[in-house]
């Protein structure tokens, strides 16, 4: 499961553990009742209940009254910040992103990381070049997308020229990097000209509670557009692998 992000990056699922059911089981440790099931339950026997005909699915039972399924408990846990059961599930992902994005990402100190190191292997010559549309976008409510104080109003022609300058500078910096490697400058110093637009790779791992906190902060309109694209890709993975948790999370944060 891989989602392409920006011009050379991606978010790829390595593995998940736990499930929506495991979260319920963990919460029910207090009563010893375990996971009861999703969807309406029969009040009499606890089996699935057919809401259309108002009867228990188990013919022998004949129950006619229903109780809500475990979605109700999941929502209760989330709404009341009873968050530890959400630590019983989680995911590990592989991410390829500009170093600039990793600078923001690594502020989430309670995730676990392993990143490619230019001390040991030269970083491939791949750099982030923002699209023209991205350069021209201004957020009205988002100070982080604002231009420097006193700057001119950017037009498309100047934005194109700036992009060309950026590509040229990337090329020049790569040239210095490669010459350093060629002449035997230690790899850990030859990397000095590597720009923050250079793509790097890492694995990041955390429990579901932590990932939801990450998505809350980084898919928000106040976060920089680039990390938001990565965060949205993480959110997509969570929505597919933990659909019931994602449902209560999305409603809760709407």
Ligand X SMILES: Cc1cc2nc3c(=O)[nH]c(=O)nc-3n(C[C@H](O)[C@H](O)[C@H](O)COP(=O)(O)OP(=O)(O)OC[C@H]3O[C@@H](n4cnc5c(N)ncnc54)[C@H](O)[C@@H]3O)c2cc1C
Question: Which residue, 110 or 158, is less far from ligand X as judged by CB?
Answer: 110
Cα–Cα nearest to 40, from 26, 56, 21 = 56
User: Binding to ligand X by residue 223, rule CB under 6 A?
Assistant: yes
Cα–Cα nearest to 135, from 153, 149, 150, 154 = 154
Stretch near ligand X under the rule CB under 6 A, chosen from 11-19, 51-59, 133-141, 216-224: 216-224
Stretch near ligand X under the rule CB under 6 A, chosen from 28-36, 72-80, 172-180, 215-223: 215-223
Catalytic site residue from 198, 218, 228, 244: 218
Q: How far is the CB of 216 from ligand X (least distance, A)?
A: 9
- What is the DSSP track for 100-156? HHHHHHTT-TTSEEEE--TTTSPPPS-B----HHHHH---SS-GGGPPPTTPPPP-H
Instruction: Identify residues 110-129 at the interface with ligand X (CB under 6 A).
Output: 110
User: Binding to ligand X by residue 159, rule CB under 6 A?
Assistant: no
Please say if 218 is a catalytic residue.
yes
User: Binding to ligand X by residue 106, rule CB under 6 A?
Assistant: no
Question: Which residue, 26 or 212, is less far from ligand X as judged by CB?
Answer: 212
Say if residues 45 and 127 touch (Cβ distance below 8 Å): no
For ligand X, which residue has the nearest CB?
A: 109
* Alpha carbon 219 to its chain's center: 8
Question: Which residue, 72 or 107, is less far from ligand X as judged by CB?
Answer: 107
Is the Cα dihedral 128, 217, 16, 40 positive or negative?
A: negative
User: Binding to ligand X by residue 217, rule CB under 6 A?
Assistant: yes
User: Binding to ligand X by residue 108, rule CB under 6 A?
Assistant: yes
CA angle 159, 162, 164 (to 5 degrees): 115
CB neighbourhood size of 207 (10 A) = 19
User: Binding to ligand X by residue 64, rule CB under 6 A?
Assistant: no
Cα–Cα nearest to 87, from 148, 130, 23, 24 = 23
For ligand X (CB under 6 A), the number of binding residues is 7
Question: Which residue, 35 or 113, is less far from ligand X as judged by CB?
Answer: 113
Say if residues 193 and 179 touch (Cβ distance below 8 Å): no
Q: How far is the CB of 187 from ligand X (least distance, A)?
A: 29
Q: How far is the CB of 109 from ligand X (least distance, A)?
A: 3
User: Binding to ligand X by residue 109, rule CB under 6 A?
Assistant: yes
Say if residues 19 and 38 touch (Cβ distance below 8 Å): no
The binding site for ligand X (CB under 6 A) comprises 107-110, 217, 222-223
């Amino acid at each position: 499961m891989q989602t392409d992000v920006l011009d050379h990056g991606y978010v790829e699922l390595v593995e998940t553990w736990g499930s929506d059911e495991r979260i319920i089981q963990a919460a029910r440790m207090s009563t010893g009742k375990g996971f009861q099931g999703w969807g309406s339950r029969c009040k009499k026997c606890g089996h699935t209940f057919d809401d259309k005909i108002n009867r228990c699915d188990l013919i022998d039972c004949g129950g006619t009254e229903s109780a809500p399924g475990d979605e109700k408990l999941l929502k209760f846990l989330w709404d009341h910040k009873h968050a530890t059961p959400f630590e019983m599930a989680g995911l590990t992902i592989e991410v390829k992103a500009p170093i600039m994005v990793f600078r923001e990402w690594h502020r989430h100190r309670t995730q676990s990381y392993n990143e490619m190191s230019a001390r040991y292997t030269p970083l491939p010559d791949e750099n982030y070049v923002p699209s023209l549309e991205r350069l021209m976008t201004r957020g009205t409510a988002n100070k982080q997308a604002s231009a420097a104080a006193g700057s001119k109003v950017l037009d498309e022609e100047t934005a194109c020229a700036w992009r060309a300058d950026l590509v040229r500078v990337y090329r020049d910096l790569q040239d210095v990097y490669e010459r350093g490697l060629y002449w035997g400058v230690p790899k850990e110093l030859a990397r000095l000209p590597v720009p923050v637009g250079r793509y790097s790779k890492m694995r990041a791992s955390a429990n579901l509670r932590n990932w939801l906190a990450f998505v809350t902060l980084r898919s928000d309109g106040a976060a920089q557009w680039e990390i938001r694209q990565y965060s949205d890709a993480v959110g997509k993975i969570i929505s597919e692998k933990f659909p019931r948790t994602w449902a209560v999370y999305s409603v809760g944060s709407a």
